[in-house]
Amino acid sequence: MFYTPSLKILHKNSFGNIAKCKCCNDLQVTLGNIIFSLTEEEFLDLDIFFDEIRRDFDLITNNETRTREYIIKFNFKDLVLAFSHKELQDTIELINYSSILLEVNKTIDIF
């Protein structure tokens, strides 16, 4: 899948976006210059995977750790990504807001 008019952006920020395809209901995740597609079930698994990362990330407060790189090996698709502190923060934001919108959609069917 690539960007087409059939994609509805769930959330975007300066690092990327997450969009849902109106035709197949798959989700397209764009992070920096990386684009990959997930089924909704895979995306929900990604959200669960990020729960632990969110907890650890919230504990980081000093400036020294904000300059380090975070290497994350996803549980699926043999995907390994390297994030700066800001990129990881933006990725967490994208996943959080997109997950909320998907849940709202189940209730009111907007996408």
Phi/psi region, residue 25 (left: phi>0; alpha: psi -120 to 50; beta: rest), is: left
Domains and CATH numbers, the chain: 7-108 (2.30.31)
Residue 41's CB is within 10 A of a number of other CB atoms, namely: 8
Token pair, residue 61, equals: 């407060």
Looking at residue 6, its pLDDT comes to 86
Which pTM does this prediction carry? 0.83
- Looking at per-residue pLDDT, the higher value among 14 and 63 belongs to 14
Tens-place pLDDT, residues 6-61: 899 999 999 999 999 989 999 999 999 999 999 999 999 999 888 888 887 777 65
Long-range contacts of range 104-108, CB-CB < 8 Å, 24 or more positions apart?
none
The position carrying tokens 């994350």 is 72
Looking at residue 56, its pLDDT comes to 77
